[in-house]
């Protein structure tokens, strides 16, 4: 069996005094793609944001490549090789596509050129619009830019929060295929998704309910009628 690249153990986090994550545990093997499903408000974004160091950890531990990264700054976590494409895209609207990408590599300038070429290989559409202001891109193009920006630091682990939100079925497929290609090129991927169309691309499936993981298995074991219905209907 492949070694785990990401190990999340008993993770707890929340907002103010309100707990959200109630002891989240799962691990992801190097080279695999894991998809996380769950109802709105289940705690999926809180999970990936805590792993990425954007939220404070209340308890438990995150290990990356065997080393504890809990409590490190978000910038240090990026340097270690973990990158997040956040929910809602969050590109800088007043800056060009190119500048948005350059900013994604600020912690690792040495890989900037190499990674920009890679991003343009995955998303030729971004290269065609390299000088366009990010705020004038279509929703799908902004999603490509958000993923591209996260790739600029040459991560070993890419976390993507809601890749397909608001995209047409066709563009959703394109984005899933590119994510699959990124994974084939050696990057481990954790993708938070509502669209079950991602399942054929996933090795591992997770279901989160009310701040805990209630299903963790191979993607092929997650039966759309049983487990997924439970995940979405509570």
Ligand X SMILES: Nc1ncnc2c1ncn2[C@@H]1O[C@H](COP(=O)(O)OP(=O)(O)OP(=O)(O)O)[C@@H](O)[C@H]1O
Binding site for ligand X (CB under 6 A): 15, 20, 38, 40-46, 87
Among 171, 174, 147, smallest CA distance to 158 is for 147
Q: 103 — phi, psi (to 5°)? A: -65, -30
Q: State the first-to-last Cα distance of the chain, in angstroms, to the nearest integer.
A: 33
Among residues 81 and 211, whose Cβ is nearest to ligand X? 211
Which residue among 45, 47, 85, 195 contacts Mg ion (CB under 5 A)? Answer: 45
Within 30-147, strands assigned E span 33-38, 59-64, 67-68, 82-85
Q: Does 47 bind Mg ion (CB under 5 A)?
A: no
- How many residues can be counted in the chain? 234
When asked if residue 50 is in the footprint of Mg ion (CB under 5 A), the reply is no
Residue 6 C-beta: closest distance to ligand X, Å:
18
Which lies closer to Mg ion via its Cβ, residue 44 or residue 156?
Answer: 44
* Token pair of 128 as six digits: 């065609």
Report what 110 binds from ligand X, Mg ion, none; CB cut-off 5-8 Å by kind: none
Contact of residue 20 among Mg ion, ligand X, none (CB under 5-8 Å per partner type) = ligand X
Measured between alpha carbons, how far is 57 from 49 in angstroms, rounded to an integer?
A: 10
**Residue 15 binds which one of ligand X, Mg ion, none, with CB within 5 to 8 A depending on kind?**
ligand X
124 interface partner picked from Mg ion, ligand X, none, CB below 5 to 8 A per type: none
- Supply the minimum distance, in Å, between the C-beta of residue 50 and Mg ion: 12
> At its nearest, how many Å lie between ligand X and the CB of residue 40?
3
Work out how close the CB of 49 gets to ligand X at its nearest, in angstroms, rounded to a whole number.
Answer: 7
95: closest CA among 147, 137, 48, 125?
Answer: 137
Instruction: Give min distance, CB of 28 to ligand X, in A.
Output: 18
* Positions 79 through 118 that interact with Mg ion (CB under 5 A): 87
Comparing CB distances to ligand X, the nearer of 50 and 115 is: 50
Backbone angles phi, psi at 157, to 5 degrees: -125, 120
Nearest approach in angstroms of CB 91 to ligand X is: 18
Full 3-state SS string of 155-212: CCEEEEECCCCCCCHHHHHHHHHHHHHHHHCCCEEEEECCCHHHHHHCCEEEEEECCE
What number of other Cβ atoms are within 10 A of residue 184's Cβ? 10
> 39 vs 111, which CB is nearer to ligand X?
39
Residues that bind Mg ion (CB under 5 A): 44-45, 87
């Amino acid at each position: 069996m492949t070694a785990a690249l990401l190990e999340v153990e008993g993770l707890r986090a929340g907002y103010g005094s309100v707990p959200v994550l109630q002891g989240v545990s799962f691990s992801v093997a190097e080279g695999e793609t894991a998809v996380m499903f769950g109802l709105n408000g289940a705690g999926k974004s809180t999970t990936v944001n805590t792993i990425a160091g954007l939220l404070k950890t209340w308890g438990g531990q995150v290990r990356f490549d065997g080393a504890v990264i809990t409590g490190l700054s978000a910038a240090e976590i990026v340097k270690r090789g973990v990158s997040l494409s956040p929910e809602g895209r969050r590109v800088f609207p007043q800056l060009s596509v190119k500048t948005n990408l350059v900013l994604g590599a600020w912690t690792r300038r040495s890989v900037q050129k190499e990674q920009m070429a890679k991003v343009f290989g995955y998303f030729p559409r971004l290269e065609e619009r390299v000088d366009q202001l990010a705020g004038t891109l279509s929703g799908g193009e902004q999603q490509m830019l958000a993923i591209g920006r996260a790739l600029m630091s040459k991560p070993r682990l890419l976390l993507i929060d809601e890749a397909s939100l608001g995209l047409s079925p066709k563009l959703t497929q394109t984005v899933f295929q590119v994510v699959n290609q990124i994974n084939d090129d050696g990057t481990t991927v954790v993708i938070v998704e509502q669209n079950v169309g991602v399942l054929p691309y996933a090795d591992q499936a997770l279901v989160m309910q009310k701040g805990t993981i209630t299903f963790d298995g191979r993607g092929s074991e997650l039966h759309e009628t049983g487990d997924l219905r439970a995940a979405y209907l509570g």
